[in-house]
Structure 1
Amino acid sequence: MSRRGENIYKRKDGRWEGRYIKGRQQNGKIHYGYIYGYKYSEVKHQLILMKYEKQTNSSKNLLPYEGNLLDWTTYWLETFVRPKVKSSTYASYKNKMDVHVLSRIGSIKLQKLKQSDIDSLLQEMDLTLKASSIRSIFSVLKNCLGKAISLNLLVENPCMGLELPKARRKTVKALSIKDQAKLVKEINRNQKFFSIILALQTGLRIGEICGLKWEDIDFENNTLGVNRTVLRIQSEDKAGRKTEIVEITPKSENSQRKIPIAKSLKKNLLELQKVSTSDYVISNKHKALEPRTIAYRFQIIRKKIGLENFSFHSLRHTFATRCLEAGGNIATISSLLGHSSTKMTLDCYTNSFFTEERQLVEKLEFI
């Protein structure tokens, strides 16, 4: 058997074997216990827990732990995160920890990690990252260390009590009616820009547009169903890190929704369906078109007509803004967008209510 690490061996059957002292026989001879697994990290961390569990009289006492933050995070991600979340969520957590946390403080022993270490990390990130990004990274780290507490590997979470940078409210960028008309005039000349029309008339996210299939469209009732999303995530293989395209269910229950479609959009969809050879509405031959291809096509158009300060996501905001201007109430717009709450919609589009606010104040003069 080949050996890797303290008391961990590679067996001929492909499994890893970890050995720990379970007790002693009457003659004083050591009695060993064994842990088996197909992953080295799994055996390593189970071995650490078992070795020191025997040295404590109470489960409430802190278990000594030899691993550093990198060791624990790897184990946490593989054991407690990957089996319970979507591949995109796992990839997001892993990327946040690898890039922003472990690259800086990953070598610190888990049980020697102090609040000051986390605070210094926050100050470093504050120099280059947005407050919202820092808060997102911090949340993952806090959850990671929280699990260590539940397993008696830490007494308290060093993330507690720290002051985070305040996230500024996002300023929504939506096209004006004039710019929208200019964009529509340009893209109507070529069907490969139909994804832009979909975004403007439905408010779909770019991944939702990529995942849209003909089976999701009910032409009889004039509705469009959002049942999946396509995105590119980071993955790993023997050759190292890379990315891959995945198709998953929408991010939340609210994201999975039905949207009414206008007559003009229905007409365009029926025309496109006649020439389509794919299950997907927006496709590259038979496959779904990936998000970055759609984003690249929009980039070409926006540069051509002078809208370089807008991203593809601005089209979703444009849809919501047009709904507000048409007198739509916030609950209806929130439902169309697939937001988790009306508060989220209000937070995004507060600035878009300025016209309505002005009209309301002007009416007060007549009272």
Structure 2
Amino acid sequence: MARRGENIYKRKDGRWEGRYIKGRQESGKIYYGYIYGYKYSEVKQQLILMKYEKQTSSNKHLMQYDGKLLDWTKYWLETFVQPKVKDSTYASYKNKMDVHVLSKLGNIKLQKLKQSDIETLLNEMNETLKASSVRSILSVLKNCMSKAVALNLLTENPCTGIELPKAERKTVQALSVKDQNRLIKEINTNQKFFSIVLALQTGLRIGEICGLKWEDIDFENNTLGVNRTVLRIPVKDNGVRKTKIVEITPKSRNSSRRIPISGTLKEKLLELQKLSKSDYVISNKHRALEPRTVAYRFQVIRKKIGLEKFSFHSLRHTFATRCLEAGGNIATISSLLGHSSTKMTLDCYTNSFLSEERQLVEKLEFVH
């Protein structure tokens, strides 16, 4: 195992191996050089000298750039990111850089930015943010720096070799059957909370529910299509931070899907359609209801019946858990949820297999 922050490893033959970036292929892919020795200190010293020599020689070929990290990031986002991604992705990248990176490192000259600066930032973020959030922020910064390397503004990416915190596996919060029945009893006669019914019976994400239109529902074949999502993203208006509602296509090919609906849900949808004056299933007069309002309505109900620890997203987990309990296989459930892979489904719902695992173990007979 390498010592923290260093690419120096102990080999099986007893020698130490040091690795450094030697250059890049025409495709931009990095290739490495290696240094070997029987003493860690020797390899470390040679590695320092090699990196220094490479930095010195490479600097002669760097393009002159006097801009700050703030200037380069703005150019990178507007030139290389915004034209290729959805508004929501661009807003997410920009927000991560503005709030967590540029507020601390933005005034440093791009070509003066050091790995130690990134490590200091990382340590600060580790104190206040979740590991998954830190990894996500550093991923955006690393992509930003990679483009600077590709354009010969930097000799190497200062994020390379940074040791990231280990992301904790998310624990699924799903309602028990008892709590689910309590929730349904509370909302069953009020169309205002129909978004909760949809989440429990289809596993749709909150933005997918808000984006659902009547044209997406095939009452003849008892299916509904997930064709768009509604979300609120941060924007700037004359320098003032604001947010706006946007409607976008699903985030991936798997997210765009068709879901079968039960006879009971079909009846409820037909009843709601008779009263609706909007193109959207969940609406505020003629417009789509925004996710924030849907989440607030659920918050009111969960507090009323003592389910404070659950979020609206828990309803999606509850749907998946009920599918598992009914004997559904992972591939089918993964498809219904719009996950990118069955591995993602397994990672999310490992804890939900406990009852099935218990039943399996109880069936085993051991010979003493």
TM range (shorter): 0.7 to 0.9
SS at match of 2:280: coil
Alignment check: 8 A CA contact 1:60 1:152 kept: no
Aligned partner of 1:77 in structure 2 is 77
Note the C-alpha offset of 1:210: 0.2
The equivalent of 2:139 in structure 1 is 139
How far off is 1:240 after superposition? Answer: 1.9
Letter of the structure 1 residue corresponding to residue 197 of structure 2: I
Q: CA deviation at 1:189?
A: 2.3
CA contact (8 A) 1:302 1:308 kept: yes
- How far off its partner does 1:366 sit? 6.6
Q: CA deviation at 1:238?
A: 2.2
- Gaps in structure 2 of 5+ consecutive residues: 1-57
Verify the 8 A CA contact 1:250 1:256 in the aligned structure 2. yes
Question: What SS does the corresponding residue of 2:85 show, helix, strand or coil?
Answer: coil
Report whether the alignment pairs 1:358 with 2:358. Answer: yes
- Where do 1:88-127 residues align within 5 Å? 88-127=88-127
1:364 offset after TM fit, Å?
1.4
Q: In structure 1, give the amino acid aligned to 2:231.
A: L
> Counterpart amino acid of 2:78?
E
The whole-number CA distance in structure 2 between the counterparts of 1:132 and 1:88 is: 19
Q: Residue 206 of structure 1 aligns with which residue?
A: 206
- 1:179 counterpart SS class: helix
Contact 2:68/2:109 (<8 A) preserved: yes
Contact 2:59 2:155 (C-alpha < 8 Å) held by counterparts: no
1:130 aligns with 2:130: yes
**Deviation of the 1:128 alpha carbon:** 0.2
Deviation at 1:325, TM superposition (A): 0.3
Conserved in 1, the CA contact under 8 Å of 2:235 and 2:244?
yes
Q: Does structure 2 conserve the Cα–Cα contact (< 8 Å) formed by 1:59 and 1:152?
A: no
For residues 1-367 of structure 1, what are the structure 2 equivalents within 5 Å?
A: 61-238=61-238, 240-365=240-365
CA 342–60 in structure 1, closer or farther in 2 if over 3 Å, else same: farther
Q: Conserved in 2, the CA contact under 8 Å of 1:225 and 1:256?
A: yes
Query: In 2, Cα distance between the equivalents of 1:217 and 1:360?
Result: 39
- TM-superposed CA distance for 1:60, in Å, is 9.3
Q: Residues of 2 paired with 1:308 and 1:260: CA distance? A: 30
Q: TM-score, normalised by structure 2?
A: 0.83
Give the aligned residue type for 2:119. Answer: D
User: Does the 8 Å CA contact 1:77/1:94 hold for their aligned counterparts?
Assistant: yes
The aligned residue for residue 8 of structure 2 is: none
- Give the alignment's TM-score, normalised by structure 1: 0.83
Amino acid of the structure 1 residue aligned with 2:97: M
Unmatched runs of 5 consecutive residues or more in structure 1: 1-57
Match of 1:50 in 2: none
User: What secondary structure sits across from 1:127 in the alignment?
Assistant: helix
Q: CA deviation at 1:263?
A: 0.5
What RMSD, in angstroms, separates the aligned Cα atoms of the two structures? 1.3
